[in-house]
């Protein structure tokens, strides 16, 4: 039967430490309201949008084992208000988690939402289901268009859950989230950015992680994932604007001696944001910036000033209303 999370977590040793630190009245009060017996709408939303979580099991040596589990978004399924399930994909064939579950069916799931700085902790017992034992369950947990072999199914029976505070969680974003942010927020003007050019089809703004002063990204407002996905005329427009910004970096107060112009096409080519963009990286003779050696990161000491310099220089070079797609 599901219990209160702290009924499981708070052992006599834990309560002794709480007493020593003066927090026993806070956490050992009978009026504490931290029920976690059934999943609700908040938990359902958290579970349905995860593409990974951490799973802890207990070994016969007494040592805990924590494993990162991942898959397509939603691979951890909420079957009902007290039951979860997931397909266990073939991996490195160590079978430590599955072996641990033969000795103890107790587990803890730790779900992270880094952008929202939220974490959900779940105590559960685990039922290991043979892949051919329940065809209906298999159909529920088998992801579509995902290249992985399912070896078994884990069915989690909720014992208790709790949410943690956001303290000390650093926001982190997936490549897809960043691409959506560029397409939906920066392009739409909802998110802050140091813009150096904008027209009906393109926007150019300073990279938030510049390799050099004036490092600019040229982005089409229409979403295209990579170079192959992008129409040739759009690529030509990006190149034309990139050329103008490169010229501006030479003729402005940035005093660049040259520029690197690059489009990273695909994960193998170091593309991490999957909304097509062109890099314009101003260079100075002797700057010793080596792209091949770990992609060294350098900060712009004054992004606002750099952006203003480029903005004014680009505007002076040609008519800002010019059609870049021709």
Span 33-87, pLDDT tens digits: 556 789 999 999 999 999 999 999 999 999 999 999 999 999 999 999 999 999 9
How far is the CA of 321 from the CAs of 255, 268, 316, in angstroms?
25, 36, 12
| Residues near 320 by beta carbon (within 8 Å), at least 6 away in sequence | 197, 199, 314
pLDDT of residue 85: 98
Residue 216 CA to residue 303 CA, distance in Å, equals: 11
Residue 68 sits at φ, ψ, to 5 deg, of: -85, 125
Region of 264 please: left (phi>0), alpha (psi -120 to 50) or beta.
beta
pLDDT of residue 31: 52
The predicted-structure confidence for 247-270, as pLDDT tens digits, reads as follows 999 999 999 999 999 999 998 998
pLDDT of residue 263: 96
Annotation says 277 is catalytic: yes
pTM above 0.75, yes or no: no
Residue 4 CA to residue 271 CA, distance in Å, equals: 45
Average pLDDT over residues 192-206: 90
The percent of residues in the chain predicted with pLDDT above 70, rounded, is 90
Domain 36-164 matching CATH 2.30.110.10: the answer reads yes
Fold of 175-317: HIT family, subunit A (3.30.428)
Under the banding of pLDDT at 50, 70 and 90, the label for residue 282 is: very high
The predicted-structure confidence for 8-22, as pLDDT tens digits, reads as follows 888 899 999 989 999
Residue 58 CA to residue 110 CA, distance in Å, equals: 15
Residue ranges covered by each domain of the chain: 36-164, 175-317
| pLDDT exceeds 90 at position 223 | no
Strand partners, 67: 55
| pLDDT exceeds 70 at position 320 | no
The predicted-structure confidence for 135-180, as pLDDT tens digits, reads as follows 999 999 999 888 889 999 999 999 999 998 888 888 887 877 777 7
Identical fold between 36-164 and 175-317: no
> Looking at 215, 275, 277, 279, which residue is catalytic?
277
């Amino acid at each position: 039967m599901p219990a209160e999370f702290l009924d499981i977590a708070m052992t006599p040793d834990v309560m002794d430490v709480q007493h020593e630190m003066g927090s026993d009245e806070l956490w050992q009060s009978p009026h504490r309201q931290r029920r976690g017996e059934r999943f609700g709408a908040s938990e359902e939303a958290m579970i349905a949008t995860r593409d990974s979580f951490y799973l802890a099991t207990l070994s016969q040596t007494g040592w805990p084992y924590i494993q990162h589990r991942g898959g397509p978004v939603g691979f951890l399924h909420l079957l009902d208000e007290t039951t979860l399930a997931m397909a266990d994909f073939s991996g490195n064939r160590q079978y430590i988690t599955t072996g641990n579950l033969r000795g103890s069916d107790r587990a803890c799931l730790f779900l992270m939402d880094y952008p929202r700085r939220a974490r959900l902790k779940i105590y559960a017992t685990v039922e290991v289901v043979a892949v051919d034992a329940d065809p209906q369950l298999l159909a529920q947990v088998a992801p579509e268009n995902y290249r992985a072999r399912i070896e078994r199914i884990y069915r989690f029976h909720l014992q208790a859950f709790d949410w943690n505070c956001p303290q000390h969680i650093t926001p982190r974003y997936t490549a897809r989230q960043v691409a959506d942010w560029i397409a939906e927020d920066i392009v739409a003007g909802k998110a802050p950015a140091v813009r150096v050019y904008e027209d009906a089809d393109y926007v150019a703004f300073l990279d938030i992680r510049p390799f050099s002063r004036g490092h600019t990204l040229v982005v089409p407002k229409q979403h295209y994932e990579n170079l192959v996905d992008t129409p040739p005329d759009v690529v030509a427009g990006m190149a034309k604007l990139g050329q103008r910004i490169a010229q501006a970096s030479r003729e402005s107060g940035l005093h660049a001696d040259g520029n690197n112009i690059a489009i990273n096409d695909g994960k193998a080519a170091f593309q991490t944001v999957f909304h097509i963009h062109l890099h314009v990286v101003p260079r100075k003779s002797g700057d010793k910036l080596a792209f091949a050696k770990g992609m060294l990161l350098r900060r712009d000491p004054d992004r606002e000033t750099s952006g203003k310099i480029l903005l004014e220089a680009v505007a002076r070079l040609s008519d800002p209303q010019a059609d870049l797609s021709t």
